[in-house]
Amino acid sequence: MIKLLFKNLKARNWVSIFVIFCLTLLQVFFMMTIVSYISRLTGAVQASRENGVSEVWSYGLYMILCAVLMAAVEVIIRFMASATSANVITDLRQKMYERVNRFAIADFASFSTESLITRTTNDMQNVHLALLTFLKTAFVAPITMVWSIILLVNYANGTLTLVTAIWLLVLVAAVTVLLVLIIPKFRMVQRLTDAINVASRENLTGVRVVRAFNAEAYQENKFDKVNTQFTKVQIFAGRVISIFTPIVMLVMMGLTLSILWAGAYALNGLPMDLAEQSFGAVNAFIMLASQIIMSVVLLITLIVVWPRASVSAKRIADVINHDVSVLDPANPKTFREKGTIEFRNVGFAYPGSEKEAVSDISFKVKQGETIAFIGATGSGKTTIINMIPRMADCTSGEVLVDGVNVKEVSQKDLRDRIGYAPQRGFLFKGNIRENIAFGNPDMTLADVRWAAEIADADSFVSNKRNGYDSEVAQNGTNFSGGQKQRLCIARALASKPEILIFDDSFSALDYRTDKNVRANIAQKLPEATRVIIAQRVGTIMDADQIIVLDNGRMVGKGKHYDLVRNCPVYQEIALSQLSKEELGL
């Protein structure tokens, strides 16, 4: 926790913390001034019998002034503590978000989506609460305690000191037992929070499947198990914490009564005037002892909050300090060609896997050509194309784009040359224009419409009431699968890239629309190199090269005409979709 905060505190945060420390000194000064004047006030009351009440008024007014100033300083401290803690968490959250944005595919294997969401929200809130508590108590508690002990020397009494020490030990012992019980539960709470997020997100994402199989009761039971376990842990932690306040009140009241009893016993038999003066000292001792106990209570409050925050801080630090697997080179090279892609004996293995997912992949594509990949599910098609824009780095061999190894150029320069349309059409919340112009927010409406026309999306967009300003719901749920894919294809085309990657992006389109879109791309962007993954042979029949994959290895490479005769795997796929006559066999 401390390490995370120290590494991420900026200069302005340190200035705020220093100001809070100085204000805390001033606050404690006013507090101790009031305490020290209590015994003087007792003497002034005795003297007022002979000299009037003027001295009582002066002491009283001075104490009121100190109380008002102390309250004002307290308000300022709380304002500054709130602002400082909020600023620190804002910076942490931004840093975490930026780090996640740099994650490659291999990095996401270390963190689930649900866990990353929990770390960004719930864990950040825990750290925020702990930091806020720290800024409000970490200075005032020890300063008050030390200052009270120094002043307590003036009223030193063996019996009263012993009574205070005994009650202090009782408080520390009780809280230690509570912490031993509660700290493991805090760790469990964070893990169960992740589990609840997983169960909730899984059910919401797969709601159609759940309803189709009448599995609502099954899903509810799954969630109920996690939710019940989470509730039990929360109730236990709440019950343990609820004991804390009564213990503190018991110690405070017991301390006050014990000091009064011990003081009364000591004052018994003393002359009246001496007893009255000593009673003022006893009152001051009670105040100082109470301040010491309250300081311990404040520190314990911080200790109670700290364990849960420490667990959260570690989870946040794991993300922020995670070594991203895909990094920019120290001295990026410039591209030497345009629109070319080459794989040289490329292999890729996922983290922790002993076997490569794809191996010994070699091919070369020239500018303006089309290369297609086809194969069974899990044969490595998406893995291969993910290495072109460096979504993942090959573990063996070389991937070259425009004549340069992709590891030797900056990721921004590389991806500026690439347009990408994913298999699952993903749209961002906003409007249609913003989604198509995602790569360049300053893009004109004419350019947006040009891309939509190529993707055969302009017709259905224009029919909407607000046209390209029509709303897009989160994840594009107000569009059909085919409409989402066409908008994603338009987004890939809008920046007029050198290389276009279509990861099975035509799967939701009918044959006619599929053919029209591919024809439009060939006509409007003839110099763009096209990389296509497809399951339909009809989509890739006209490709300049077709790579046939089976279990991560190339089992065929060439044009459709040759492969359908010479490659058994391709022939099997083709015959499952088209007749021999259609294939020319």
Residue 462's CATH number: 3.40.50.300
Burial of 476 (0-12, 13-18, 19+ CB in 10 A): buried
- Confirm whether 86 is domain-assigned: yes
Q: Which residue has the higher pLDDT, 338 or 257?
A: 338
Which pLDDT band, with edges at 50, 70 and 90, does 504 fall under? confident
443 with 312, same domain: the answer is no
For the chain, how many residues are written? 585
- Confirm whether 544 is domain-assigned: no
Give the integer Cα–Cα distance in Å for 488 and 492: 6
Residue 1 has a pLDDT of 66
The number of helices, as runs of H, and strands, as runs of E, in the chain is 22, 12
Mean local confidence (pLDDT), 486-496: 92
310 with 436, same domain: the answer is no
Which pLDDT band, with edges at 50, 70 and 90, does 49 fall under? low
Q: Are 342 and 387 in contact (CB under 8 A)?
A: no
Give the integer Cα–Cα distance in Å for 301 and 132: 12
Q: What percent of the chain has pLDDT over 90?
A: 28
Domain total in the chain? 2
**With 90 as the cut, is the pLDDT of residue 369 above it?**
yes
CA angle 427, 428, 430 (to 5 degrees): 120
Burial of 486 (0-12, 13-18, 19+ CB in 10 A): buried
- Confirm whether 578 is domain-assigned: no
**With 50 as the cut, is the pLDDT of residue 314 above it?**
yes
Tokens of 416: 């500026």
| Dihedral over alpha carbons 500, 503, 507, 510 (to 10 degrees) | 0
- Confirm whether 373 is domain-assigned: no
- The CATH number given to whatever domain includes residue 228 is 1.20.1560.10
Which pLDDT band, with edges at 50, 70 and 90, does 408 fall under? very high
- Confirm whether 341 is domain-assigned: no
Q: pLDDT (tens digit, 9 = 90+) per residue, 105-148? A: 777 777 877 778 888 888 898 888 888 888 888 888 888 888 87
Q: CA torsion sign, 209 to 215 to 218 to 219? A: positive
**What are the two backbone dihedrals, phi and then psi, of residue 370, each rounded to the nearest 5 degrees?**
-120, 125
- State the chain's mean pLDDT as an integer: 83
Q: Which of 294, 320, 346 is the last residue of a domain?
A: 320
**With 70 as the cut, is the pLDDT of residue 347 above it?**
yes
Task: Spell out the residues 6+ positions from residue 463 whose beta carbon is closer than 8 angstroms to its own.
Answer: none
**What are the two backbone dihedrals, phi and then psi, of residue 383, each rounded to the nearest 5 degrees?**
-60, -40
Enumerate the β-bridge partners of residue 420: 501
Tokens of 249: 């009140």
The domain in which residue 491 lies consists of 423-496
- Confirm whether 151 is domain-assigned: yes
**With 60 as the cut, is the pLDDT of residue 526 above it?**
yes
149 with 272, same domain: the answer is yes
Q: Which residue has the higher pLDDT, 335 or 162?
A: 335
Residue 274 has a pLDDT of 47
Residue 282 has a pLDDT of 66
Q: Which residue has the higher pLDDT, 277 or 394?
A: 394
**Closest C-alpha among 23, 29, 129 to residue 76:** 23
Q: Which of 444, 468, 496 is the last residue of a domain?
A: 496
Q: pLDDT (tens digit, 9 = 90+) per residue, 155-209? A: 656 666 777 778 778 877 887 787 777 777 777 776 787 778 778 877 777 777 8
The Cβ of residue 216 has, within 10 Å, a number of other Cβ atoms equal to 12
Lowest-pLDDT choice from 200-209, 223-232, 266-275, 353-362: 266-275
Q: pLDDT (tens digit, 9 = 90+) per residue, 223-246? A: 888 888 888 888 887 787 777 778
Q: CA torsion sign, 156 to 158 to 164 to 170? A: positive
Enumerate the β-bridge partners of residue 401: 341, 404
Residue 491 has a pLDDT of 93
CA angle 417, 504, 445 (to 5 degrees): 50
293 with 438, same domain: the answer is no
Cα separations (Å) of 268 from 160, 262, 271? 15, 10, 9
Residue 158 has a pLDDT of 65
73 with 201, same domain: the answer is yes
Give the integer Cα–Cα distance in Å for 115 and 383: 24
- Confirm whether 351 is domain-assigned: no
- Confirm whether 382 is domain-assigned: no
* The residue to which tokens 């002066």 are assigned: 58
Residue 583 has a pLDDT of 73
Q: Which residue has the higher pLDDT, 29 or 277?
A: 29
The Cβ of residue 529 has, within 10 Å, a number of other Cβ atoms equal to 26
Residue 272 has a pLDDT of 46
Secondary structure (DSSP) of 513-563: HHHHHHHHHHHH-TTSEEEEE-S-HHHHTT-SEEEEEETTEEEEEE-HHHH
Q: In sequence order, what E strands does 393-537 have?
A: 396-401, 404-405, 418-421, 430-431, 471-472, 499-503, 529-533
Q: What percent of the chain has pLDDT over 70?
A: 90
Q: Which residue has the higher pLDDT, 340 or 150?
A: 340
Give the integer Cα–Cα distance in Å for 437 and 498: 17
Q: Which of 496, 524, 548 is the last residue of a domain?
A: 496
Mean local confidence (pLDDT), 326-346: 90
Q: CA torsion sign, 486 to 488 to 491 to 496? A: negative
109 with 244, same domain: the answer is yes
